[in-house]
Structure formats: structure tokens, C-alpha cells
Amino acid sequence: MLRLCTTRYALRTTAHTRIKLIGTFSTSAIRSSANRAVVFAEKGNPAEVLRVKSYDPIPPPPPDCVNVRFRLSPINPSDINVVQGVYPASPMQMQLSGEDVFVGGNEGLAEVVEVGGDVQGLRKGDWVVSGKAQTGTWSSLRALRAEDLIKLPAGQLSEVNAATITASRERL
């Protein structure tokens, strides 16, 4: 069952641009029907530009894609650098519910929830990670090209290990 996190938080930066997450977190076994993403419309101080945005349900995937639900998506220093605009790579801008935004997150564990008609080698329930940088993993549900995903072996990794495996590409 998908664990959802509800939180009140604040991101605070220090003079040395370290980020401190302040707040409380709780989990729930209740599945939410709302799709949400942590987004930013412009680069800058994460405490000022990051926000949570709800977005419309996504349609069935195109033939070469799969719809995935992210189970865990970590926050790494490089993710913060991307939001600040000092990291060499940037996410692609996308449209969520009529607004052009960037979705944060470079790595995370996703579960395949729907498979496009031409996709081979992936099925509903498979765990995958992105083999492509700046995927926008801080979202609940996304359509991604199957060729950009790496299928993980069933039952061999914990959720936490799987979600962070792409931080060290040599582990793949």
C-alpha cells in the first residue's frame, strides 16, 4: 500500500546555503486520489520558490511509455542546487494543470501502474528507477518513456535502497 506523507515544513537556508528541514511528518495508509508535485516556476532560494501543486489525473500512457507512481523520492544536495540554479543540469519545464513549472527531484523509486501498448519488459507492479537525469521525481504520478527506466529485481532491495540507488550509478 502506498504510504502518503502529510507535513508542515519550512526550508531554511543558512549563510553557507545549507538547507534545514523543520517540521513534523506523519504517514497514512489512506490512498489519496490527488496528484501532487513539489514544483518551482523560477530558480532561487528553495524556501521561497518551492511549493506543492496538485494536478489533474494523467491519461493512459502513450504506446512507448508507462505511468508510474513514485513510492519514495529523496532530497539530495544536488536537488537543492538545481532549485537554486547552480547545478549544471536543469529539469525540463512541464505543464501541470495549465501552469509551466519545473518538478524537482533527480532520483526515486517508482512503481509501474499502467503500461503503454508497445512497451515490452515492464508490467504493472514492477519497481523502476530512472536512468535519465532530472526526471522530476518529486511527484506522485508521471508518464515516463519506458526506455528511460531501469527495472529493479523483485524483492532484492528495500524501498530506501532502491530509491537512492541512482545516486551511485556504478551500483546499477
What amino acid positions are annotated as catalytic residues? 87
| Cβ within 8 Å of residue 122, ≥6 positions away | 66, 112, 115, 128, 146, 149, 151
- Among candidates 92, 80, 103, 106, which has minimal Cα distance to 167? 106
What is the grid cell recorded at 159? 524501498
Query: In the Cβ-directed half-sphere of 7, how many Cα atoms lie within 13 Å?
Result: 14
Mark 111-128 as b/e (b = at least 16 C-beta within 10 Å): bbebbbeebeebeeebbb
| Cβ within 8 Å of residue 153, ≥6 positions away | none
* Spatial separation of the C-alpha atoms in residues 146 and 83, rounded to whole Å: 26
